[in-house]
Amino acid sequence: MSAINTRIAVRGLTKRFKSARGEAVDALGPIDLKIGVGEFLAIVGPSGCGKSTLLNIAAGFESATEGCIEIDGRAIVGPGSERGVVFQDYALFPWLTVAGNIGFGPTSLGLSPQVVDEKVRDWVKLVRLEGSEQKFPHELSGGMRQRCALARCLANDPDVLLMDEPLAALDALTRVRLQDELLEIWNEASRERPKSALYITHAIDEALYLADRIIVMSERPGRVLREIIVPFTRPRYPEMRSQPEFHRLADEIWRLLRRPAV
């Protein structure tokens, strides 16, 4: 991947912290990887390998011990509007309605009320929440909350979308349905300007269905075990889950994750 189409560059990234006993713990790295403009990269790995830590550093919520993460050649030193984050627990403002949550970012950016209202209408329609604009988060199903969270994130028009297991809290049927809706929302949001995604998940089939490329991480301290290019073309269809190559790759990733730590 050449520098001209690299959106995110992770360079020699490591993270260490002190345990409750005061012992030094190597949590992550060193890691080097790149994410291209318009690329959807998924990361899978065992619990505690540092997947979420990597995402939090990319979001600017945590700092690296060594190395850095760059976006468009600029080192990340804190949160920024060019990055949007979607969490597993939705993280919606409970005191705001669906419209209020989606319009929060554009309003904070100083856009006029007319422009904010237009953005809210467009995103409500795209994530299929028409008729729920004045509902509060506690009145929504899990799938509706996550669609609202995606719309709130993308209403700011970020270049990078950081997603930390956004579908993990959903039931199996809703989760599969939301995978297709996520791709549809992603494609529409990238229509005018391609967006890059860093997607954390424990679900191997989800990573294969959504991503262009998958990074398999080792146990702590998390390092890159394998990079897997997903061979399936876009758009993705549910039937691809039954293809032999899909099952072969899922088995390969599973065997990597079961490998004993060295």
DSSP for residue 112: -
Average pLDDT over residues 239-251: 95
Q: What pLDDT shows up at residue 260?
A: 60
Is pLDDT of 3 > 60? no
Q: What pLDDT shows up at residue 262?
A: 52
Determine if the peptide bond prior to 113 is cis (ω within 30°). Answer: no
> Can you tell me the distance from the alpha carbon of 200 to that of 175, in angstroms, rounded to the nearest whole number?
15
Is pLDDT of 184 > 70? yes
Q: What pLDDT shows up at residue 195?
A: 93
Average pLDDT over residues 57-80: 94
Q: For residue 228, which amino acid is it?
A: I
pLDDT digits (tens, 9 = 90+) for 129-181: 999 999 999 999 988 998 999 999 989 889 999 999 988 888 888 889 899 99
Average pLDDT over residues 186-193: 88
H or E segment and range at residue 7: strand 6-18
Q: What pLDDT shows up at residue 259?
A: 74
Phi, psi for residue 244 in degrees, rounded to 5: -55, -35
Average pLDDT over residues 243-258: 94
Average pLDDT over residues 85-95: 87
Q: Comparing C-alpha atoms, which of 161, 190, 179, 204 is closest to residue 43? A: 204
Q: What pLDDT shows up at residue 1?
A: 44
Is pLDDT of 4 > 60? no
Select the more confidently predicted residue: 262 or 117: 117
Q: What pLDDT shows up at residue 43?
A: 97
| Residue that is written with structure tokens 């099952």 in the block | 247
Is pLDDT of 93 > 80? yes
Architecture of domain 1-82+159-170+197-262: 3-Layer(aba) Sandwich (3.40)
Q: What pLDDT shows up at residue 261?
A: 55
